[in-house]
Amino acid sequence: MTLRDFRSLPLVLLSLIATTTLATTTPTRDDGLSPDLSDNIHQLQASLIEDEVTGSNVVLVFKDGREIFSSVKNSGTQGDRDITEKTLFPIWSMSKPITIVAMLILHEQGLFKWDDPVSKYIPCFADLTVKDGDTTRPAKTPLRVIDLMTHRSGYAYYPMVPGIPALYHLPQQSQTKFNDLQEFCEVAANHPLEFDPGTDYIYGINQAILGRLVEVLSGRPFAAYLEEAIFEPLGMTETSFVLDADRRARFHPLFINSGDLKGYTFLLDELNYDPESKAHFGGEGLVSCPSDYARFCEMLVNGGEFRGTRMISEESLEEMVTVRSEDIFPEFMTGMDMGFSVFVLSDPAAEGSAAPPGIFGWSGYHNTHFWIDRKNGLYAVFMSRAREFNPSIPQRLRMAIYGEVPSPEPDPE
């Protein structure tokens, strides 16, 4: 793994808790799922609490339009709060696929092309620079829209002020420092890229920039456009960038699972959910709940259609899951490639699950997860609120649902 690969990882991925397998190799049911699905998931939920990976957590699994599993496991620990249908969670990077769908809708309307330079719509991105040792040089290629869609822009996530827990954005900056997305873009445009746009992969701030592009293309504030184009048609009434007094009271407490701050707290939002804010980050800013996000998943598993309403075309969904970068996090997400800001599972055996190749989804920094399995007409949603991030959770959940397979033998030297 190169130094660039390590720089591409959010710091939270560097604090892993060892994966615990659920059982030995399990058979599958006629529908391709583990016959012990319910017991396995209940065991996983309990072990996450017992091992202090998460606090209270919730799992939803749907297949062929029917809920086949739903379980809340509450910790009962002092400082935690029982999860109800009204509980809200910060979904962090599970905001990214929602922003991607907004862009797909606008693309279907013919408002831009994938290869368009971003500077055509946001002029401050016209003259970008690239890191070159201890200095910088002009970028050799323009930043294109598709580069932002695929994390191939050259923008990473960047450390904050040392010692202050916060979202990793531009140096000495955070979402709370910006009045709106245009101001954020102007700061980003002055920051040198890690490489020439389109030439490599690095996970970063791309969807925050796409939020501003949505504003320019649609003529609407980003939050308003998501509400009108996605949330209202899907009935996602609890999904928003805002925490007012009522929503704040339903916000799940954060469980810090390691270090000196270990325990439950309401004090570390790390983002600005102020109703007056206009700096709505499409990569990490949304608050939602399992039943709301399940509606978004239902649309994706049905090929872009939700209960008779076509949101995006099958062709757009195919664009979303077309692999653009391979083996994106080999040390942490084995067998995963990258499409339009969603993982695409290319090698299920590498993670030890019997899931079919081609499932896609993503996760959030505070341990929220989802994936879409169109082959089986299945989707799953996991929500908790815990830090640090643990990438073993979705792998173990897929093992619980599909069954396990033996890990592949290493190649002989």
- Asked if residue 3 has pLDDT above 90, the reply is no
Average pLDDT value for residue range 34-43: 96
- How far does the chain reach from its first CA to its final CA, in angstroms? 19
Chain centre to alpha carbon of residue 333: 13
Note down the domain range covering 223: 3-402
The string over 224-243, giving b where at least 16 C-beta atoms fall within 10 Å of a residue's C-beta and e elsewhere, is ebbbebbbebbebebbbbbb
Q: Evaluate whether residue 413 is within a structural domain.
A: no
Query: What pLDDT is attached to residue 160?
Result: 53
Task: Label residue 193 exposed, middle or buried (CB < 10 Å: 0-12, 13-18, 19+).
Answer: buried
H helices within 132-284, ranges in order? 145-149, 181-189, 206-218, 222-226, 232-234, 245-249
Average pLDDT value for residue range 323-338: 91
For residue 263, CA distances in Å to 15, 193, 270, 409 come to 17, 37, 16, 39
At residue 89 the predicted structure's pLDDT band, cuts being 50, 70 and 90, is very high
Query: What pLDDT is attached to residue 22?
Result: 36
- Asked if residue 20 has pLDDT above 60, the reply is no
Asked if residues 336 and 327 have their Cβ atoms less than 8 Å apart, the reply is yes
Q: Evaluate whether residue 303 is within a structural domain.
A: yes
- Asked if residue 15 has pLDDT above 50, the reply is no
Q: Find the range with the poorest average confidence among 80-89, 228-237, 332-341.
A: 332-341
Average pLDDT value for residue range 100-117: 98
The string over 273-288, giving b where at least 16 C-beta atoms fall within 10 Å of a residue's C-beta and e elsewhere, is beeebbbbbbbbbbbb
Query: What pLDDT is attached to residue 180?
Result: 93
| pLDDT tens-digit series, residues 343-376 | 999 999 899 999 999 999 999 999 999 999 999 9
Average pLDDT value for residue range 113-120: 98
Q: Evaluate whether residue 183 is within a structural domain.
A: yes
Q: Evaluate whether residue 412 is within a structural domain.
A: no
Residue owning tokens 């083996």: 327
Chain centre to alpha carbon of residue 312: 19
- Asked if residue 69 has pLDDT above 90, the reply is yes
Query: What pLDDT is attached to residue 408?
Result: 59
> Beta-strand (E) ranges in 64-112?
66-73, 89-90
Query: What pLDDT is attached to residue 412?
Result: 59
Q: Evaluate whether residue 191 is within a structural domain.
A: yes
Higher pLDDT, 234 or 408: 234
| pLDDT tens-digit series, residues 144-170 | 999 999 999 999 987 653 443 344 455
- Asked if residue 23 has pLDDT above 60, the reply is no
Helix (H, G, I), strand (E, B) or coil at 138: strand
Count the domains in the chain: 1
Q: Which one, of 217, 193, 213, lies nearest residue 132 by Cα?
A: 193
Asked if residues 282 and 271 have their Cβ atoms less than 8 Å apart, the reply is no
Query: What pLDDT is attached to residue 2?
Result: 39
Q: Evaluate whether residue 387 is within a structural domain.
A: yes
- Asked if residue 311 has pLDDT above 90, the reply is yes
Asked if residues 375 and 63 have their Cβ atoms less than 8 Å apart, the reply is no
| pLDDT tens-digit series, residues 42-52 | 999 999 999 99
The rounded mean pLDDT for the chain is 89
Q: Evaluate whether residue 410 is within a structural domain.
A: no
- CB atoms < 10 A from the CB of 9, how many? 19
| pLDDT tens-digit series, residues 255-286 | 999 988 899 987 778 888 999 989 999 999 99
Asked if residues 22 and 396 have their Cβ atoms less than 8 Å apart, the reply is yes
Query: What pLDDT is attached to residue 413?
Result: 57
Region of 341 on the Ramachandran plot (φ > 0 left; ψ -120 to 50 alpha; else beta): left
Percent of the chain with pLDDT over 90: 79
Percent of the chain with pLDDT over 70: 87
Q: Is the pTM of this model over 0.95?
A: no
Q: Evaluate whether residue 62 is within a structural domain.
A: yes
- Using alpha carbons only, give the angle 183, 185, 190 rounded to the nearest 5 degrees: 105
CATH number at residue 393: 3.40.710.10
Query: What pLDDT is attached to residue 167?
Result: 41
Query: What pLDDT is attached to residue 204?
Result: 93
Query: What pLDDT is attached to residue 398?
Result: 97
- CB atoms < 10 A from the CB of 291, how many? 17
- Asked if residue 128 has pLDDT above 60, the reply is yes
Query: What pLDDT is attached to residue 174?
Result: 62
Helices and strands (H and E) in the chain: how many? 13, 16
